[in-house]
Structure 1
Amino acid sequence: IISISGVEQARQVAGVQNVILTRGVNEIIPSMTSNVDKAGHIIATGETLVAAEQAAALAREQIEILVDDAYSIEWKQVEEQARIRFTDQVCWVCKVCDGTNCASGVPGMGGVGNMTTFQENSRALQRLKIQPQYIRNELEMVSTAIELFGHSFDMPIMAAPMTGAVTNMKGAVSEYDFALMILRACRSAGSIGWVGDGASPEKFDVILKALEQVDGFGVAILKPRADDPEMVRRFQLAEERNVLAVGMDIDAISFKTMRLRNQRTAARGVDRLKQLREATNLPFVLKGVMTPSDAEAAIAAGVDVIVVSNHGGRVLDDMPGTADVLPSIVRQVKGRIPVLVDGGIRSGRDVFKMLAFGANAVLVGRMVAIAAAKTVPFVFYCIVIIVS
């Protein structure tokens, strides 16, 4: 229990004799097995049973108990629920999510080809070891807060843009619920959710509806469709929803699901990319940068933020892990724009390694997708547990 309010107002309701609380702030409300487990009781009287019940109901309306829904959640519980939702045709929800034993590829939750890029993301992080320094002065303050897109966030951890709940997850959750869960959970955790428009043209309308429910508090990343006017139209529609930033994942030009949906994509040089960037007043993100030269070209095109990403190994096999290429890209950028990264991030240790190599923040995909197979509190817990 985080807070309790309205108790005195409840006691003032006509017919209410007393309000008795059995739980207080910082205590836990257990699962209900009997009346003894209730958080409180209302004693009410009336000339008739109906009158007494109405008084008790009115008193209950005055009381608000705010609870932390994620408090009692354990990651094992998240995994078990995801296995039920996904089935063995989508994702095994392995203890170690590293692409070595996936139930599906693309479409699905796995990677393309032999999944070597998916696996290399994990290997690149595993090769990095942490050497702590214990003999030092005590730190007076530790903060995980960051500034990005003109806003402050409590943590440098955000949900990566994901779509295809029907295509990739066999309908374990609807496209709308998937996007809305992530957006709401990230905002509650002091972070921000990113959403993508996916291969199917109609999915863009779905994410717009989800963004409307959170007053635009999200980042919209679009596939690199060949039709520039359509790209501009989508940027403008996202801007009308007051999103914090828009962008494009350039590596999706050869994304398998785009081909399956007959959606034409196009590679863009600096000049054409600059024209797209100038079509919106919002911060512009380019996701899919894997080389220093692409990072430099992005800056020349006026991009505000880049994301070092190989699309989680879902576009091209035999690519390097993002942790391996991140340092050279950070050196090339030299602090001119923020550099974010995704790929294989499963724990706070992985986040720490990416930050140590110069990333301003990280995006987490598959762990969030696993949590989003159930409820908002599960996604909230997923983000908070990585931070802690």
Structure 2
Amino acid sequence: MDATTQLGYALDTFYLLVTGALAMWMAAGFAMLEAGLVRAKNTAEILTKNLALFAVSGLMYMLVGYGIMYPAGGNGLIPDIAWGFMLGGEQALAKVAAEAITHARRADFFFQMVFIATAMSIVSGAVAERMKLWSFLIFAVVLTGFIYPVQGYWKWGGGWLQALGFSDFAGSGLVHLCGASAALAGVLLLGPRQGKYGKDGSIHAFPGANLPLATLGTFILWFGWFGFNGGSQLALNGLENTNAVAAIFVNTNLAAAGGTLLGLITARLLFGKADLTMALNGALAGLVAITAEPLTPSPLMAALIGGIGGVLVVFAIVALDKLRLDDPVGAISVHGVVGIWGLLAVPITNDNAGFAAQLIGLSAILGWVFTTSLVFWWLIKRTLGIRVSEEEEYLGIDIGECGLEAYPEFVRSRGAQ
């Protein structure tokens, strides 16, 4: 390897690590967003879940997930698990050895690992305020170690979706629709929060405890998304890669802007008020929508794709409530409904993608993740149970699950010991 090649290898490796760190910061964004949108009595538990799921994701992806997603072989549908990376021997992966990779394999592992944590974070918000902590973490082991990597292999690992021509640049389907599908299965078995829906069909709002925190979380996610989408170019070295990264950053930002404004306008037209939570979800919807193809759209088209996502998410949140599917943070709408839109929008600007391949791909992801998740959620429900008791839910699961409160009230008098 000559000096020029080594320099390019070092630059691309460094870029992948830095964008991976940016994407890792999205874990903080999810934690703050969810902590802001749940009620005060459930805040410590949701923060515990977000911290623990990130740790579980890293360990499971190292132990088995990465070897499934990037195997030494496979038939396109079922991968051959490669154990070399777990043992520190990346060179044991025959496929990797045959590729002319432009960055360190461990940088790729780190970058891909933060994606899998993102998918699990989506589940966290949808099942908030009534799910048992340890049941959730057991499911996290299954999703991050097995369910996610299989569908990841189908596309990014060179499996049958890749051969079909399915296109998903940074994961509107493989990450966001995946997380939403697993969340939907959990919500169906879990049921709504106590008092959320009346017998007369009424819907009762449960306002979040800290909207400034939710807004901060959204800004953190917006910021981290530059690493999420920009890093998915996987290289910075060379004129073509450099220009592509710049375009991805611009389009990612404009899609979020379009989603924010059209989400806010849609909420104003529907509810007569400028609903902050719909604006926040609109921003995230714009980001999810552009994630499937952030490179080929023009800046104006990127804003439009994100804007349509912002409109869709408002209607989706309303529709799910009417269906009595209780999602405290709107995760299924943001990442599922808009994830589907993002995948279907790819052929509008990318001539190498077709609507048929996109439909097949999103159906495969939805079908695989939802079905397997439903099975494992059911098994956990039948053994350990997935829902806290009515009393714990009423008092708040911070005390029941974590033994502490995020917002303790100091009521002792000055002279109290």
TM-score range for the pair, normalised by the shorter chain length: under 0.3
Which structure would you say has the larger RCO, counting Cα contacts within 8 Å and 6 or more residues apart?
2
Highest Rg: 1 or 2? 1
- Report the TM-score when normalising by structure 1: 0.24
Name the structure with the higher strand share.
1
- Report the TM-score when normalising by structure 2: 0.23
Name the structure with the higher helix share.
2
